[in-house]
Amino acid sequence: MIANVRMGVIDLKLKGSQMVMRDLVTRVRESDLRSRNIFAEALMQVVKDAKKTGEGLHRLSTKINGAVDRITAVNGYVMHIIEAATNRGRFSLSRIMSHTDTEAVILRVFEDAMDTLTKEAHRAVLEAFASAANLERLEERLITIHEIRTWRTLR
């Protein structure tokens, strides 16, 4: 949950930076800098990458929340099945199933739960890698902006 809040904060900061960069692009295009077109185009790439990165972080947050919900639901189901299989009460699966069958049911639902956990973790990791790549691309764009800004021919 804390990670989702942090991603939301980063997303908001990226949206704010997009607005600031768009304003900066306008000022650069209206300036008398010799390399204003190159500089403005590099700034627009940052705006596009910031937008893509923010959207990716939002997708990651959504996938994590969905994964947690699905894993929680599967765990609840598994616990219910295990309780029903091992309970010796009046309405119990163990009253109509052999010990071996009960163990097989428990093993099957446990495997299903582990399979769900694996799939959800895999999906979240793939989305996290995509978000990390977007952040790295954005960082490279910002380095390019810094290099363009420091060119002696800019003025």
For the full predicted model, state whether its pTM sits above 0.85.
no
Average pLDDT, the chain: 83
Residue 69: its pLDDT value, please? 93
Residue 106: its pLDDT value, please? 82
At 127-143, the pLDDT tens digits run 999 999 999 999 999 99
- Is the separation of the CB atoms in 28 and 155 below 8 Å? no
What is the spatial distance between Cα 31 and Cα 10, in angstroms, rounded to a whole number? 31
- Is the separation of the CB atoms in 28 and 36 below 8 Å? yes
At 69-125, the pLDDT tens digits run 998 998 898 888 887 777 755 555 555 566 677 778 888 888 988 998 999 999 999
| Residue 31 DSSP symbol | S
- Helix (H) / strand (E) containing 23: helix 2-30
- Is the separation of the CB atoms in 81 and 105 below 8 Å? yes
